[in-house]
Structure 1
Amino acid sequence: MERHQIGLYLAAIVAGGAAGFLAPGSGAVLERAINPVLGLLLYATFLGIPFASLGRAARDVRFLAAVLVLNFAVVPLVAFGLSRFVAGDQALLVGVLLVLLTPCIDYVIVFTGLAGGASDRLLAAAPVLMLVQMVLLPVYLLIFVGPGLVSAIDSSPFVQALVWLIIVPLALAALTQWLARREGDPAAVGPPAVGRLFRTAAARLLHAGVAGRRVMAAMQALMVPLMMATLAVVVGSQIVGVRQELGSLLAVVPLYAAFLLVMVPLGLLAARAARLDVPATRAVVFSGATRNSLVVLPLALALPEPLALASLVVVTQTLVELVGMVAYVRFLPLLAPADSRLRR
């Protein structure tokens, strides 16, 4: 499944869209399934983020600097410029900014590896990217959208989505990883004088470590099916709305396509400025181009009714991006060939 996941993702999108079209009444049921399926996907995604390697990511100074500058200094300028084309429609504006301001931390790792990029270095940087975007997204929205619109948004559903679909899965993933690293012999915890209570507690902790490793292995095996299920459910629940709002949504398709095009030279320039090697260069380009649409979707779904179209704007970006990633995997190795002069 991992070898054929691009085709499987596209098939899931088609299947979800067909289900939504053929059974329009299923949209409400599928929409209720988004949060549970997405929560599992995000838990599985966060399990793949090596929280223990934050130190290693911090030591990879040039790569991390290139990724951070590109995503949180260059991309916001690009997103602001592109968003001016839909600034007259608040729902389109919020949707475009919400998705373009957040760098991807899940399937970007896969696509980077398929293109011969340094997926391991990007994986190590994923926790930093996640933490920084959680801090800066509200700041950029306040600057680009304005305090008037931001203050009109009811924060309670937004906070609930943030807590239950991002913070809770993130914390559970970190806890699972911590438990999975517990190893050793409970009898070696200390001499008999330590007492039976401490040895019993140690044994339980070690058993929890075994369970944690089993959970991580199971969720890794389910990653592709969960991504397929999420894409199918999201597209199936929103496809009728996409059809009804097709005229408005077509306005953002060229913006997303332009974003994918412009991020290639900008990513190459960022990598060249950091004097990175070819695999790292490809990873930087993918990081700048792919967005965190599935992670921010619950936040878009929590927006008030006047901004309800923003969730469809986010879904549209996912559809455009997946097609763009297929092109990236095919053509980026030609733009950053293995015999390039870029060196670490």
Structure 2
Amino acid sequence: MLSRITERPTALFLSAIGTGSLMGAVIPATTPAADALTDPLIVILVTQIFFTLRLPPLLSPALTTLKNPGSTPVVLAALLMNFVAIPVITVAVTSLVLPPGPLQLGVFLYCLFPCTDWFLGFTRAADGDTAVGGLLIPLQMAAQVLLYPVWLGVLPELTGATEVGTTGASTIYGSPEVTSTLAFYVLIPACAGIGLQVLSRRSRMARWARDTADDLVPVTLAAIIMCLFTGNVSSLLVRPADTLLILVTVFIFFVAAYLLGEGTARALGLPYPEKSLLVITTSARNAPLMIALTSAFLPEHPEVTAVLAVGMLVEFPHLCTVTHLLRRQCRSLPATVSHTR
């Protein structure tokens, strides 16, 4: 029964979007509960994914990449796209669509950095390569934490939001907010997932536990989507004109990022699992980390943080669509093509 439900993750995700939107709009009292559940569900998702990953690639990612040169192109392509090409696209799109000010700054921060947790859930749903995706997590996390204060220093001038004060890089690098956020969203659940996998290796039910956890990934992801929509859909109704501008800008950004990912994957001749990973990692953005950091370092400008929350409401329908398109491509491939999870 469970496997039949998770065979169609796109329908599951779209149902979560519809249910969450309806609950947030019609029953606003559910918003606090949804907000409280979101973070624990993200932790559960990351734990599940690391529990089901193959340990050798995860425990020795550098050696594995050297032994398997096929994973090197997708890793390099993902880093170059997420930290070079995507910022260029972001500058172009936000400058063309949004007026200078905090609104543009918020969309800029939202689009800049790649997701380091739930993108693996969508990669898994699209039959992409989650083993190489696990390697991308520490690389992309380190890069964005190092680059966040750099961007925060230049973005107010670049976006015209000169009234937004910034914090020095040294303060951000050494802040407890950064450390606690990274530990909560990535380090602790990753260690928990790996630890559970090691402990369960000798159990007779180890295979069943891994398969069940793997099947439950789309369910957990759908629960996160529902909670995010329940908790944030009301923000769409506060300033409809600004919301519409944000939605249009983020939509254009996602279309451009998707086309870039597809084009790069084809140019490099990546096999389907790596192509799926590349397309999804360039589509998923790291809104939770950006919300945490922006709330901590720009507390006097909640409108910038609100923009990040609105951006997430476009991201999930987009990721559902991308997952559906990739799965269609996967089904059209010869049966001999293997998919690495």
Alignment match, 1:203 = none
Residue 30 of structure 1 contacts residue 233 of structure 1 at CA under 8 Å; is this kept in 2?
A: yes
Give SS of 1:151's match.
coil
Q: Residues of 1 paired with 2:320 and 2:45: CA distance?
A: 22
Q: Residues of 2 paired with 1:57 and 1:145: CA distance?
A: 38
Given the alignment of the two structures, is residue 288 of structure 1 paired with residue 299 of structure 2, yes or no? no
Q: Report the residue type matching 2:27 in the other structure.
A: A
Q: Report the residue type matching 1:151 in the other structure.
A: T
Which of 227, 237, 242 does residue 231 from structure 2 map onto?
A: 237
Residue 14 of structure 2 contacts residue 320 of structure 2 at CA under 8 Å; is this kept in 1?
A: no
Given the alignment of the two structures, is residue 173 of structure 1 paired with residue 186 of structure 2, yes or no? no
Give the number of the structure whose alpha-carbon radius of gyration is greater: 1
TM-aligned CA deviation for residue 251 of structure 1? 0.4
Alignment match, 1:185 = none
Given the alignment of the two structures, is residue 74 of structure 1 paired with residue 85 of structure 2, yes or no? yes
Q: Residues of 1 paired with 2:197 and 2:35: CA distance?
A: 36
Alignment match, 2:337 = none
Alignment match, 2:23 = 19
Given the alignment of the two structures, is residue 94 of structure 1 paired with residue 73 of structure 2, yes or no? no
TM-aligned CA deviation for residue 127 of structure 1? 3.2
Alignment match, 1:151 = 166
Q: Residues of 2 paired with 1:268 and 1:294: CA distance?
A: 26
Alignment match, 2:61 = 54
Q: Residues of 2 paired with 1:233 and 1:114: CA distance?
A: 19
Residue 10 of structure 2 contacts residue 321 of structure 2 at CA under 8 Å; is this kept in 1?
A: no
Over the residues paired in the alignment, what is the CA RMSD in angstroms? 4.0
Alignment match, 1:122 = 133
Residue 242 of structure 1 contacts residue 312 of structure 1 at CA under 8 Å; is this kept in 2?
A: no
Residue 37 of structure 1 contacts residue 230 of structure 1 at CA under 8 Å; is this kept in 2?
A: yes
Give SS of 2:138's match.
helix
TM-aligned CA deviation for residue 64 of structure 1? 1.3
Question: What is the percent sequence identity of the aligned residues?
Answer: 19
Which runs of 5 or more structure 1 residues have no equivalent in the other structure?
183-205, 340-344
- Return the TM-score normalized by structure 2: 0.72
Alignment match, 2:255 = 261
Which of 318, 321, 329 does residue 327 from structure 1 map onto?
A: 321
Distance 1:144 1:81, change over 3 A: farther
Which of 9, 14, 17 does residue 5 from structure 1 map onto?
A: 9
- Return the TM-score normalized by structure 1: 0.71
Which runs of 5 or more structure 2 residues have no equivalent in the other structure?
335-341
Residue 47 of structure 2 contacts residue 193 of structure 2 at CA under 8 Å; is this kept in 1?
A: no
Q: Residues of 2 paired with 1:263 and 1:128: CA distance?
A: 20
Give SS of 2:20's match.
helix
Alignment match, 1:135 = 146
Q: Report the residue type matching 1:7 in the other structure.
A: A
Residue 44 of structure 1 contacts residue 223 of structure 1 at CA under 8 Å; is this kept in 2?
A: yes
Q: Report the residue type matching 1:68 in the other structure.
A: L
Alignment coverage as a number of residue pairs:
311
TM-aligned CA deviation for residue 207 of structure 1? 9.2
TM-aligned CA deviation for residue 73 of structure 1? 0.8
Q: Residues of 2 paired with 1:79 and 1:164: CA distance?
A: 28
